[in-house]
Structure 1
Amino acid sequence: MTWSERLGTVGVWRSNDLVDAALGARIEDLGYGALWLGGSPGADLTRAEEVLDATGRLRVATGIVNIWNEDAAELADSFHRIEARHPGRLLLGVGSGHREATAERAKPLEAMAAFLDVLDDRGVPAEARVLSALGPRMLQLAAERSAGTHPYLTVPAQTREAREALGPDALVAPEQTIVLDEDRERVRATVRPFMRRYLGLSNYVGNMRRAGFGDADVAGEGSDALVDAIIAHGDAAALARAVRAHLEAGADHVCVQVLPLDDVDRALTALSEALALR
C-alpha cells in the first residue's frame, strides 16, 4: 500500500490545542485522510487518542512532537497504547524545534538520533514515524531512520527536492497554509502576523533562502512575493491548484492549515468540494 493510499492525498494540519473529537469527525466526513496535530503535542498523545476514538478511518499524525520538550520513552509507550486500539492509524511526527525557542537546543542531528534510538529500543517501527526535516542532513537522517519527511512552510520546488533526496518509496507530506479569500491585500494583512513568527526563526529563514528568497524577502514581516508564494490564497479552485502543485512535485500527501483559524469549516468544506474528496 502506498503512502497516498494509507493517508489519503490530502489531510488537515491544525494546532493540537484547537482540535477536539468533533472536529476530527467533521474532517473525516469531509473526506480528508489524516489530521496532523501541530503545536508540539505532548508525549501522552491524549488528543490523538480522543480523535481516533471518535472516528472510524481517519489517520492521526503529530506535526510535530518536539524532542527537546518530550520524553521519548513516554512517547513510545503512548504509541503502543494507541496502536493496540487503533492499529495502523497513528503516525508519529517528531522534530527538533527551533534554536530561538529552546535554550538547550544543540547538535540537533545527534539529539534526534538519540531520540530515535529510544524509539527503536522500545519497538516503535521506523515506518510509524516521520521527521520534520528541512535541511539536507536532517533529510538524510529521515531517509535512514523514518518513513520520510513532514516539511512546513515550503514551496512545491522544495517538495520536489525532498522527493529526489528520499527516493520513490519514502513519505513526503508537506504542510500547505491556505486562505479562502480572493482579496490579495486582505490576505496579506491576515497572514503577516502568522509569517512574522516564522521569520524570527533561523531554521525557517534558512529554508526560505534555500528556496531562492533573498534578504528583502525574509526581512520584517516578509515581502509580498514571499507571502504569495508560501501562503495559498484565492477561491477554492486556486487552493486546490496549490495542493495539486505539491502532489505533482512528488508529495504523497499534503496537509492544509487554514487561516484565519475561525474559518476552518468553511475553507475545508470548499476545498473538499473542489478536490472531490468525498
Structure 2
Amino acid sequence: MKLPRTALSIGELDALDHDGAVRFVRALEDYGHRMVWIPEVLGREAFTTAALVLGATGRLIVGNGVARALERVPKSAASAAYDLAAGYPGRYVLGLGVSGAVRERGIGPLPFLREYLDRVDETLARRGKVRVPRVLGAYSEGITRLAAERADGLITFLVTPEHTRWARETVGPDLALSVVQWAVVGRSRGEARELARERLAYYLQLPHQIAKLARLGFTPADLAPPGSDRLVDALVATGTVDQVREQVRRQYEAGATQVALTLAGPLDETKLDAYRALGEEEK
C-alpha cells in the first residue's frame, strides 16, 4: 500500500453539519491536500462520514483513522468498507482499532481483533474481488505485530518519535506506518499550549491513552489534567508552518512513512490559513 507522504487527520467534522463538512473538505482538496484520515471520536459514524467526504471530493484519498471495531459487527464493517473501495477505486483505506474496553466482554484486545479480522476477511471474500486496503490502530506490542501480519499498515496517534522508532523496529522496514501528529500553527506558544490542552483533556480521561503515555515515560504529574508543559510540548508541534514541518521531520527520521497532521484549535481564519499554507507544498 502506497500512501502520500503527508496527510491530514480532521477532527473538525464532528462539529460541522452536512453542508459545512462538504465545504470544509472541498476547501482542503482545493488547497492541495491529497489524503485525510477521519477519526471516530465524538459522534460521527465512521463509514457514512467517509462516504460523505469521498462523494464531496474528486481526488482526496480517505481513510477511517480509525473505525471502532466495538461499535459494529465485522460483517457491517467489512461490507461498508468493500462498497467504499469498490465505489471509489484507489481512494479508500479501512482503518480499524479496539480499546481496552473490550475486556468488559471477557476477551483481550489482541484475540478480539484477530478474530474480528477473520470475520472481516470472510465477508470480503464473499463480496467479490475488490481489494480493501487496511491499517490497524495500535500501541501495544501484540496488536502492532498483528498489523504486520494482517494489514497493509499501522496508524498511531498522540505519540512521540521514540514510539515511532519502536513501532518501526517492531513491524520491520516494509510496512506502511502513518503517524497522526498534533500541531498548532500560527499562534503564540502560550495560546498553542492552551488550545492543545483543551483537546488533550478528553484523552487524559481514557485509561488506554494514559497507559500508553506512561509507557512513553510520562509521569503521573505529567498526565494529571490538564497535562504538564512537558507532555504538551512533546506531543504537539507548534509555531510557524516551517517550524512545524521541522518538528514533524523527527517522526520521519524515526521511521514514519506518512505523517498526518491534526490541527488543534477552532476552525477560524488562522487555522484555514495554516491548512492553506500546508497544502501549498502538495501542489
Name the TM-score, length of structure 1 as normaliser.
0.88
- What's the counterpart of residue 206 of structure 1? 211
- Report the Cα distance in structure 1 between the residues aligned to 2:203 and 2:210, rounded to whole angstroms: 7
1:104 Cα deviation from its structure 2 partner: 4.3
Which string of whole-angstrom CA distances, capped at 9 and with x for unpartnered residues, describes residues 48-93 of structure 1? 1222223232110001111111222112111221222211211111
Which string of whole-angstrom CA distances, capped at 9 and with x for unpartnered residues, describes residues 86-136 of structure 1? 11211111111353x995484111111121111110227887111110111
- What's the counterpart of residue 272 of structure 1? 279
Amino acid paired to 1:33: R
1:12 corresponds, among 5, 8, 11, to 8
2:45 corresponds, among 23, 42, 46, to 42
Q: Indicate the larger mover: 50-59 or 153-162.
A: 50-59
SS in 1 for 2:267: helix
Amino acid paired to 1:132: G
Which string of whole-angstrom CA distances, capped at 9 and with x for unpartnered residues, describes residues 136-170 of structure 1? 11101111111121111001121111111111211
The structure 1 segments of at least 4 consecutive aligned residues displaced by more than 6 Å after TM superposition are 124-127
Distance 1:47 1:105, change over 3 A: farther
- What's the counterpart of residue 253 of structure 2? 248
- What's the counterpart of residue 136 of structure 1? 141
- What's the counterpart of residue 183 of structure 2? 178
Distance 1:102 1:33, change over 3 A: farther
Paired residues, what number? 270
- What's the counterpart of residue 89 of structure 2? 87
Q: Any residues of structure 2 matched to 1:162-241 within 5 Å, and which? A: 162-241=167-246
Which string of whole-angstrom CA distances, capped at 9 and with x for unpartnered residues, describes residues 9-48 of structure 1? 11111135346233222222222221111125536x2221
Name the TM-score, length of structure 2 as normaliser.
0.87
User: What root-mean-square deviation, in Å, do the aligned CA atoms of Structure 1 and Structure 2 show?
Assistant: 2.3
Amino acid paired to 2:66: I
2:153 corresponds, among 145, 148, 158, to 148
Q: Indicate the larger mover: 239-248 or 104-113.
A: 104-113
SS in 1 for 2:45: coil
Percent identity between the two aligned chains: 32
Distance 1:127 1:136, change over 3 A: farther
- Report the Cα distance in structure 2 between the residues aligned to 1:183 and 1:88, rounded to whole angstroms: 39
- Report the Cα distance in structure 1 between the residues aligned to 2:78 and 2:217, rounded to whole angstroms: 38
1:236 Cα deviation from its structure 2 partner: 1.1
- Report the Cα distance in structure 2 between the residues aligned to 1:18 and 1:168, rounded to whole angstroms: 38
- What's the counterpart of residue 32 of structure 1? 33
Distance 1:185 1:256, change over 3 A: same
Contact preservation (8 Å) 2:204, 2:223: yes
SS in 2 for 1:187: helix
Distance 1:206 1:173, change over 3 A: same
- Report the Cα distance in structure 1 between the residues aligned to 2:191 and 2:266, rounded to whole angstroms: 15
Contact preservation (8 Å) 1:239, 1:271: no
Distance 1:183 1:31, change over 3 A: same
Amino acid paired to 1:23: F
Query: Any gaps of 5 or more consecutive residues in structure 2?
Result: none
- What's the counterpart of residue 262 of structure 2? 257
Distance 1:35 1:105, change over 3 A: farther
- Report the Cα distance in structure 2 between the residues aligned to 1:109 and 1:253, rounded to whole angstroms: 25
